[in-house]
Amino acid sequence: MTYTAPVSQIAHTLSRIARLDEIAATGAFPNFDADLVAPILDEANKLARDVLAPLNAIGHKTGAKLTETGVVPAPGFADAYAQFVQGGWMSLAFPEAFGGQGLPKPLALAVFEMIHGANMAFGLCPLLSFGAIEALLAHGSPELQQTYLPKLISGEWTGAMNLTEPQAGSDVGALTTKAVPNVDGSYAISGQKIFITWGDHDMTENIIQLVLARLPDAPAGSKGISLFVAPKYFVNADGSLGDRNTFKCIGLEHKMGIHASPTCVMEYTNAKGWLVGEANKGLAAMFTMMNSARLNVGLEGVAVGEAARQAGVAYANERKQGAAPGVQGFATIIHHPDVQRMLATMSANVQAARAICYACGAAADLAEHHPDEATRKSAKAREDLLTPLAKAWSTDRAIDVTNLGVQIHGGMGFMAETAAAQFYLDARITPIYEGTNGIQAMDLVGRKLSGDGGATMSAMIADVRDTARDARATNQPKFVAISDRLDTATAALESATAWMLTAMKANRETGLSGATAYLRLAGDVVGAHLLTRAALGEPAGREADRATAAAHFFADDTLPHAPGLAAAVSAGAESLRGADVLWAAD
């Protein structure tokens, strides 16, 4: 399987959308220098293209295996992980205090887009470490931080997140894993966790589990869960490793895709763990892990979509079949307008999703580091608003894009070991994990939209209006056409927003009926806005042509649906009324 990172497009999005210059101007990234970007992207591309992509097909075919001594990764993965650690890729955007490189988050997103694009099953291992690191950074005591963070940030150890139990998926408050205090201040954790990504493996000498569990006196529900850290091997005072902890992987799930990413059933039997943050405040800590993970899952959608796009382009350029307008003899299928439409749809949607994810990462950096408090606050609100879009919109598009990738391949796309098929199968998990896309939609119209009476969305819409105005001011026909489409779509988003704010106040159920359509609409408009923003003012040349073509195609193909989506948002509750006959027993 081949993958080459779209380095120039990524660099363009970093510069025009993530605005690395603005992030650098906060002064919080003294190690950052704009000249670093190109060599970092080039080196990351080498890792992705030369080390990780060649392992993707064998990983799909072979998968990870559970043996007597634990999980054994797919062939080549341990070596590749060692190279990943060696290259310092884990530490890019983490604080120097714990050995990180202190670089802006979007730069790490760019690198991890490449890693996921080359090999999503591999990329999940560091993705889970991210969650563990961010939970410890935000909530761990200085002692826990010092014990675990340096090795997690270097990548020498990996982390995993233990949330789900059979009865507690989307509703983690239903979990029953127990944590009983030991006399030494630690806790004895017992229970079973499922769907634990990279919960075990032998690629590193230690694995650090972040585990949600319930104290003996904990209140019921989500207000009674606490977060614990439990290493596979205990860490001695001198940093050396001691005895093995009493948890293990007792089963691996047999999944549709990401076969090389072990999905573990983990059994904890009086395993020793330490409380992270306050007792019964595990939910807040979990959201720290989840927010990072949600953006990163959105990024997986971008990545696997880009990989599918590349496979589609390659096949369309290679497969000869029938005649096509203007071509003598057998033509490659790329000459068919319908194939071009599929490729353009894939490209435009991947670029839009990339822009949304990178913009979300940029907002996170500004929210943390901008010197001005008001700016930090508004950036935080922007990050929070963009997170469900980054997660759900990008991964829904990943389904569409990888589906088109299969379609371009015709019968070959249905063969189990075609790259296009693997991307389709791997992508299917992304709308599910780290909060299903339905939950993202509830989060968007609930906490994120209604939480501040629509203020953050209004600010977003004002930005879209600015973009439409700037596009019109160019007087260039393509940009004027985009501006027309944006105006209509933005009006639809505004009216849907007003409806949603009222509905969520009047009757939450009514609002929630339109949540998924609202998320789609918001993602379409924000995606079009960012694509247009990336194209505007770009000096003539390849990058300008590509950015303009993507913005124009997306505006023509996607934005005309905005009024229809707005109608579906507000009609949702009414058309569901009486619809229960549709799922009643016959």
Does 495 help bind a copy of itself (rule: CB under 8 A)? no
DSSP-derived 3-state class of residue 342: helix
Question: What are all long-range contacts of 501-507, with beta carbons under 8 Å and residues at least 24 apart?
Answer: 501/449, 501/450, 501/453, 501/454, 503/570, 503/573, 504/445, 504/446, 504/449, 504/450, 505/450, 507/573
Window contacting a copy of itself (CB under 8 A); options: 76-84, 92-100, 386-394, 399-407: 399-407
What CA–CA distance (Å, rounded) separates 291 from 130? 11
Residues 6+ apart with CB under 8 A from 345: 400, 401, 404, 553, 557
Q: Which of residues 566-585 bind a copy of itself (CB under 8 A)?
A: 567-568, 571-576, 578-583
Nearest approach in angstroms of CB 415 to a copy of itself is: 6
The DSSP line for 345-404 is: HHHHHHHHHHHHHHHHHHHHHHHHH-SSHHHHHHHHHHHHHHHHIIIIIHHHHHHHHHHH
Q: Which residue has the tokens 């270097």?
A: 154
State which residue, 137 or 302, has the beta carbon closest to a copy of itself. Answer: 302
Residue count (the chain): 586
User: Tokens 């409806």 map to which residue?
Assistant: 499
Catalytic site includes residue 434: yes
Cα–Cα dist 278/224, whole Å? 11
433 touching a copy of itself, by CB under 8 A: yes
| Nearest residue (CB) to a copy of itself, 88 versus 169 | 169
**Catalytic option among 165, 300, 434, 543:** 434
Total chain residues near a copy of itself (CB under 8 A)? 101
Give the footprint of a copy of itself on residues 206-265 (CB under 8 A): 253-257
What are the CA-CA distances from residue 313 to residues 96, 138, 163, 340, 422 (Å)? 41, 43, 39, 9, 16
Instruction: Tell which positions 109-168 bind a copy of itself, by CB under 8 A.
Output: 164, 167
Among 344, 459, 491, 501, binds a copy of itself (CB under 8 A): 344
Q: Give the footprint of a copy of itself on residues 536-555 (CB under 8 A).
A: 542, 545-546, 548-550, 552-553, 555
- Using alpha carbons, list the distances in angstroms from residue 546 to 122, 299, 393: 30, 21, 22
The piece of 271-279, 381-389, 468-476, 562-570 that touches a copy of itself (CB under 8 A) is 562-570
513 touching a copy of itself, by CB under 8 A = yes
Element (H, E) at 251: strand 247-252
Please choose, out of 68-76, 224-232, 279-287, 415-423, the segment that lies near a copy of itself by the rule CB under 8 A: 415-423
**How far is residue 454's CA from residue 451's CA, in Å, rounded to a whole number?**
7
Residue from 141, 130, 131 nearest 276 by CA: 141
Stretch that binds a copy of itself, among 272-280, 417-425, 464-472, 532-540 (CB under 8 A): 417-425
Residue number, 146 or 340, with CB nearest to a copy of itself: 340
Tell whether residue 407 is a contact of a copy of itself (CB under 8 A).
yes
Q: Is 1 in the site for a copy of itself (CB under 8 A)?
A: no
Minimum distance from CB of 492 to a copy of itself (Å)? 10
Ranges within 5-44 binding a copy of itself (CB under 8 A):
6-9
Q: Which residues contact 56 (CB under 8 A, 6 or more apart)?
A: 1, 3, 118, 119, 120, 121, 122, 260, 419, 422
* Cross-strand bridge partners of residue 190: 178
User: Smallest Cα–Cα separation from 394: which of 260, 322, 295?
Assistant: 295
- Kindly state whether residue 173 participates in binding a copy of itself, applying the rule CB under 8 A: yes
Instruction: Report which of 125, 135, 138, 132 is spatially closest to residue 152, judged by C-alpha positions.
Output: 132
Window contacting a copy of itself (CB under 8 A); options: 47-55, 297-305, 451-459, 558-566? 558-566
Interface residue with a copy of itself, options 2, 154, 270, 436 (CB under 8 A): 436
Closest by Cα among 544, 528, 525 to 476: 544
Which parts of 440-469 interact with a copy of itself (CB under 8 A)? 441-442
Minimum Å distance from CB 553 to a copy of itself?
5
Q: Which is nearer to a copy of itself, 145 or 345 (CB)?
A: 345
| Among 72, 502, 508, 538, contact with a copy of itself (rule: CB under 8 A) | 508
Secondary structure letter of residue 454 according to DSSP: T
Q: How far is the CB of 88 from a copy of itself (least distance, A)?
A: 26
What's the CA gap between 321 and 330, in Å, rounded? 6
CB of 578 to a copy of itself, least distance (A): 5
Q: Which is nearer to a copy of itself, 58 or 573 (CB)?
A: 573
Q: Give me the least distance between CB of 436 and a copy of itself, in Å please.
A: 6
Considering only residues 300 to 339 of the shown chain, the ones binding a copy of itself according to CB under 8 A are: 313, 316, 320-323, 325, 330, 334, 336-339
CB 486 to a copy of itself: min, Å: 14
Strand segments (E) across 68-135: 70-72
Cβ distance to a copy of itself smaller for residue 297 or 379: 297
556 contributes a contact to a copy of itself by CB under 8 A? yes
Phi, psi for 280 (deg, rounded to 5): 65, 10
CA distance 203 to 82: 8
Residue 79 interacting with a copy of itself (CB under 8 A): no
Closer residue to a copy of itself (CB): 472 or 478: 478
Of the pair 60, 151, the CB lying nearest a copy of itself is at 60
Q: How many CA atoms lie within 13 A of 333 on its CB side?
A: 18
Q: Which of 368, 463, 487, 557 binds a copy of itself (CB under 8 A)?
A: 557
Inter-axis angle of helices 105-118 and 7-16, nearest 10:
150
Site string for a copy of itself, 177-196 (x = CB under 8 A): -----------------xx-
371 touches a copy of itself by CB under 8 A = no
Active site residues: 434
